[in-house]
Amino acid sequence: MLTEDRERVDLDQVHRWLSEESYWAAGRERDVVMRSVEGSLPYSIFLGDEQVGFARAVTDGATFAWICDVYIDPAHRGHGLGTWMIDSIVESLTERGILRFLLATRDAHEVYRRSGFSELAGAQRFMEIDRRPTRNAILGHS
């Protein structure tokens, strides 16, 4: 089951996944995870009472959504849950009128291509300030 119910997010589990098991959020404080869930649309996959997946969408609710912190528990990978979750998120947000989606990945391009994502067109137009301590890991730099 996929739910947007913020109250059902297992914050301890999501914090562990992100801070201890992901490369992009390594060391992220629990308070930061909590605030990120509160400030976005969280999506959780449950098998019974066990949360096995998580993602969130940062959105203006009208034109744009950034899908991030996508995580499937390792014991449940390889069964299409990630693709199903992304497809479901995109469908749900599209029904709300959102037509532009962005996400970033270091190593799961093929997973997201299955859901219609492609490399960023016009990437040279985008600019950023990135002060994250995990920036090198995110970019695949030593």
DSSP classification of residue 55: E
What is the three-class DSSP state of 34?
helix
What is the pLDDT at residue 140? Answer: 81
How far apart, in Å, are the Cα atoms of 129 and each of 64, 126, 132, 135? Answer: 20, 11, 9, 11
Mean pLDDT to the nearest integer, 50-67: 97
Q: Residue ranges per domain, the chain? A: 2-139
123 versus 55: the higher-pLDDT residue is 55
pTM for this prediction = 0.91
Residue 74 C-alpha from the chain's centroid? 15
Give percent helix, percent strand, percent coil of the chain, each to the nearest 5.
Answer: 40, 20, 40
Helix (H) or strand (E) holding 62: none
Helix (H) or strand (E) holding 24: none
Sequence-distant (≥ 6) Cβ neighbours of residue 46 within 8 angstroms: 1, 3, 8, 52
Which tokens hold the place of 111? 């997973």
What whole-number distance in Å separates Cα of residue 50 and Cα of residue 111? 23
What is the pLDDT at residue 135? Answer: 84
What is the three-class DSSP state of 51?
strand
Helix (H) or strand (E) holding 32: helix 30-38
What is the pLDDT at residue 48? Answer: 94
- 88-142 pLDDT, tens digit each: 999 999 999 999 999 999 989 999 999 999 999 998 998 989 898 888 887 888 7
Mean pLDDT to the nearest integer, 44-52: 97
Q: What percent of the chain has pLDDT over 90?
A: 85
Is the pLDDT at 54 greater than 80? The verdict is yes
**Domain 2-139 grouped into CATH 2.30.30.140:** no
